[in-house]
Amino acid sequence: MATLGWRISGRVQGVCFRAGTREQALRLGLVGRAVNCADGTVEVHAEGEPAALDALERWLWQGPPAAQVTAVERLPGRAMCGPGFVTG
């Protein structure tokens, strides 16, 4: 098992980004959470197989249809801007 975190920037709030992330994570067999942050970004933390985490990271660059992702930054450790479990 591996753990990764990401901060996603762009038009990522109000476009079902967290719900889409949850759907992708479950499909990939991952557990974790996605949180809307006060600065307009979304933070995602996931645990699972490395190949599944790589697949989720590729999806984060696209997001759901209404999203416009401008950056996906890997985060160290378990840094999160707030609570909000999405999978588990």
pLDDT in tens, the chain (88 residues): 888 999 999 999 999 999 999 999 999 999 999 999 999 999 999 999 999 999 999 999 999 999 999 999 998 665 556 554 444 4
Catalytic residue among 7, 18, 22, 33: 18
Which pTM was predicted? Answer: 0.87
Catalytic, 36? Answer yes
pLDDT at 85: 44
Helices (H), the chain: 17-27, 50-62
Name the class of domain 2-75: alpha beta
Catalytic, 22? Answer no
pLDDT at 1: 85
Catalytic residue among 27, 33, 36, 78: 36
